[in-house]
Amino acid sequence: MTDNLFSLSGKRVLITGASSGFGAHFAKVLAGAGADVVLAARRVEKLEETATEVRALGRHAVVLPMDVSSHASVEEAFSAMPEIDVAINNAGINRVGTCDGLDEEDWDAVVDTDLKGVWAVSKFAIRQWRRDSRPGNLINIASILGLRVGAQLPPYTASKAAVIQLTKSIALDYARYNIRCNAICPGFFRTEINSDWLETEAGISQIKRVPMRRTGEMKEMSGPLLMLASDASAYMSGSIIAVDGGHLCSSL
């Protein structure tokens, strides 16, 4: 009875920030579960690499340029996009610095990508679903830094905390239209963005504060992702799922 519980056969999934890291991993996991994908990011050449891997799994892949920090870019991408069933807001960036040390440009870059981008993609996905009277499913990739705080990350922590509240707001407003919205809050995973930092003294110290005493492996995001993307989570909306090795439970 559970063989097809996490199946995505017949579904098409949009993934933002799909050129590397979580996004590229998600594309292959979803394709393996039977989904076709729409891959969106600024680096189109990197998207083509991911698309090739998806097609090797026997699934369709559409590549679209999209800068989520630009409302116009998101709107243009949706005008060329096939119908989707699930949208994963994965695109994100970070800038490190104290509140009085960051430039306005740094603040705006993070907030526009990590928060406004989630809103823009959600907006146009919801419009598509409501126009066609179809159900929809949004998955926002937030962070445990939206639930706890880390040093010298003010725009990132503020944006991720806002994404968590936006997730709940969308869940409340659109449940009546059979549109769901949930969020995953990853802890520390080794990606191309943070791999060098994790080898520093500060990074090693951070890992020691994780109760499991290690970073997460990409494959450990696959289960939560498939649950939320599939009908296995049909009665879930507004849920915030931490995947963090118990980091949020660490002692103060």
Which amino acids are annotated catalytic?
Answer: 156
CA 133 – CA 147 distance, rounded (Å)? 34
58, 29, 76: which is closest to 217 by C-alpha? 29
Query: How many whole angstroms separate alpha carbon 228 and alpha carbon 239?
Result: 10
Pair of tokens at residue 71: 């409302």
CA distance 167 to 175: 12
Topology of the domain covering 12-244: Rossmann fold (3.40.50)
Domain locations along the chain: 12-244
Model pTM?
Answer: 0.95
Q: Could you write out the three-class secondary structure of 89-107? A: ECCCCCCCCCCCCCCHHHH
Q: Determine the pLDDT at residue 3.
A: 64
The per-residue pLDDT string of the chain (252 residues; one tens digit each, 9 = 90 and over) reads: 566 899 999 999 999 999 999 999 999 999 999 999 999 999 899 999 999 999 999 999 999 999 999 999 999 999 999 999 999 999 999 999 999 999 999 999 999 999 999 999 999 999 999 999 999 999 999 999 999 998 999 999 999 999 999 999 999 999 999 999 999 999 999 887 778 888 899 889 889 999 999 999 999 999 999 999 999 999 999 999 999 999 999 887
